[in-house]
Chains A and B, each alone.
Chain A
Amino acid sequence: MIHILKIVTQRFALGLLTLFAISLIITFGVELLPGDLAEAILGQGATPETVKVFRTELGLDKPAHLRYLSWLYGMATGDMGVSLANKREISELIGIRLSNTIFLGGFAAAISIPLALFLGILAALYRNTLYDRVVNTFTLTSISFPEFFVAYILILFFAIKLGWFPGISNVSTNLSLGDKLYRSMLPAATLTLVVVAHMMRMTRAAIINLLASPYIEMVRLKGISPMKIILRHALPNALAPIVNVVAINLAYLVVGVVIVEVVFVYPGLGQLMVDSVSKRDIPVVQACSMIFASVYILLNLSADIISIVTNPRLLHPR
């Protein structure tokens, strides 16, 4: 137990260190600009006076390490500064959008994880049959599709031809849960299609790997049905790699959300970030990148820790 605690603490410390390194990259990336941020944004035509005023406003007159510390403190306490484009508080801009993005990601995860497990187990059960081959080809294809292609195909069929779901997901806070789910159906379906393929393939591979091991052979010789072999004997042992893949795909969802939000005009964090990039609203982009990167790292970290904690060899060392 002590042993496993030590590994987990180590991983956790490594994760924190990575977050620190990323916060450095995000803040000091701006320093790479020729001149500084104020000059870059105001452009060639700016008078020295305006540049100076702007510089004070951005806090660029203070030394870099102080700026970094105050930025980090602000990120931690929720005071992220003001947007350059409209002078609004960044935390105010981000607040609702972040919860919208988490809602969409959660919705997509709630559909895709059970679906992927179910399809993966079926594919392992009926491996090398027509079903398996069809599913395999389908997943290989859907992995290679750009997200926006999938999104527009869904819009074309379900929003325009059939008119079942709205093609634009203008979710707002005063909607009931049912309405929110209805409006975010198509973006969630797009994300599902994109991540299910990978999760399903890994589930299938994890189970099939186990099926070759001697203890499964023994169970098979006892005459137990294939379905029961997989559910009772193979699945529990395949759980660790599967959970790992699920966590990695959740991390992928966090990023995949950016493009899907833009297609469906979903009011989430990803759309805010893309808008801010084209306006070069750097404080907002920095705050968004930090949030996305943190979630991504935390999910990957938990994948790591789960696979350590569920590993019987580490749980019961000899």
Chain B
Amino acid sequence: MSAKFGILVVLIYSIVAIFAPFIAPYGEREILGRSFELWSDKYPLGTDNLGRDMLSRMIFGARNTIGLALSITILAFLLGSLTGMIAAALGGWVDQILSRIVDVLMSIPSLIFALLILSIFGTSVPYLIATITVIDATRVFRLARATAMNVVVMDYVEVARVRGEKLDWVIRKEILPNITAPLLAEFGLRFCFVFLFISALSFLGLGLQPPSADWGSMVRDNASLITFEDITPLLPAGAIALLTVAVNFIVDWLLHKSSGLKDVS
């Protein structure tokens, strides 16, 4: 039940994100009227602090925020699972060095680490992507290494090695197919983490920079409206919350299905 709801929500979000330019009534950066206009037929959700249409910015925000979060999660999975599998397959000092680096990176609170890096390099999208990718890849590394370790000791991997297969084959054909399921389940959770993380950074004014529409910074820019009992600034925040809840529901359901995990009653 809740899983169906989750899938429906994700579907709607993806459609909005993909077809943003066709759905939005106005452009992302168009300044149309006075600032903070009320909800009306012309501007369904009013206008923001610079007089841009809120609804259009919400729609483009879906595209920017989800797109960024998705690409960072994918990059983090490529980096994390690849290094994790290499660490497991090679073992020895490669594994030691990679694992210790990850240990240290994981012991710094991720928000603090991101703030530190962004203050050094300034807030630009490439550094933003690189920083969050590295932070997130450490978590993926842990999971990929742990699951791959169980596979590496199997007889068929040893057979492949004795047969003289290269590292590349062992990783692609022997390990990867056997750890895809847990990695996929983790993907949903990681996406939620990245999505919330970017929103938090944008909210602090350190994420996507204006004039790009982004849900986190939209909350920040229009927060003063709350004082007038206007709920408009809560809408982008609610949009963030709804998507994370939906993805969590799906992941929960997937985990239950795949592992038969049940609370002992």
Contact = CB atoms under 8 A, between A and B. Distances in A.
Q: How many B residues touch the partner, as a band?
A: 35 or more
B259 interface: no
A280 B104 contact: no
Nearest to A140: B248
Interface stretch (A19-27, A91-99, A184-192, A305-313): A19-27
B93 to A, nearest CB: 18
A98 B19 CA distance: 47
B12 interface: no
A282 B120 contact: yes
A148 interface: yes
Interface in A244-275: 251, 254-255, 258-259, 262-263, 273-274
B104 A145 contact: no
A161 B263 CA distance: 41
Contact of B119 (A160, A282, A292): A282
23 contacts: A29-B117, A32-B121, A33-B120, A140-B249, A143-B248, A144-B196, A145-B241, A145-B244, A146-B203, A147-B200, A152-B219, A152-B233, A208-B264, A209-B264, A254-B109, A258-B204, A259-B203, A273-B115, A289-B113, A289-B115, A293-B107, A296-B108, A300-B107
B91 interface: no
B116 interface: yes
A144 B196 CA distance: 8
Nearest to B233: A152
A212 B248 CA distance: 28
A296 B199 CA distance: 22
Given A127-B263, A277-B115, A289-B112, A152 B107 contact: no
Contacts of A292: 109, 112
Contacts of A172: none
A152 B200 contact: no
A21 B97 CA distance: 13
Nearest to A161: B229
Given A167-B227, A278-B205, A149 B234 contact: yes
A255 B103 contact: no
B100 to A, nearest CB: 9
Interface string A202-222: 000100110110000000000
A148 to B, nearest CB: 5
Contacts of B247: 144
A5 interface: no
A18 B103 contact: yes
A286 B119 CA distance: 9
Given A156-B231, A293-B109, A259 B200 contact: yes
Given A160-B227, A212-B264, A148 B109 contact: no
Given A21-B104, A146-B216, A278-B205, 9 more contacts: A140-B245, A146-B203, A149-B238, A152-B223, A160-B226, A160-B229, A278-B206, A293-B107, A296-B109
B241 A25 contact: no
B21 to A, nearest CB: 26
Interface in B210-265: 216, 219, 223, 226-227, 229, 231, 233-234, 237-238, 240-241, 244-245, 247-249, 252, 263-265
Contacts of B181: none
Interface of B: 103-104, 107-113, 115-123, 192, 196, 199-200, 203-206, 216, 219, 223, 226-227, 229, 231, 233-234, 237-238, 240-241, 244-245, 247-249, 252, 263-265
A238 interface: no
A75 interface: no
A128 interface: yes
Nearest to B192: A144
A30 B120 contact: yes
Nearest to A278: B205
Q: Which residue, B118, B196, B206, B263, has most C-beta atoms of chain A within 10 A?
A: B263
Contacts of A255: 109-112
A146 B240 contact: yes
A285 B112 CA distance: 9
Contact of A258 (B111, B116, B227): B111
B119 A280 contact: yes
Contacts of A280: 119, 122
Contacts of A147: 200
Given A144-B244, A146-B196, A29 B233 contact: no
Contacts of A148: 200, 203, 216, 219, 237
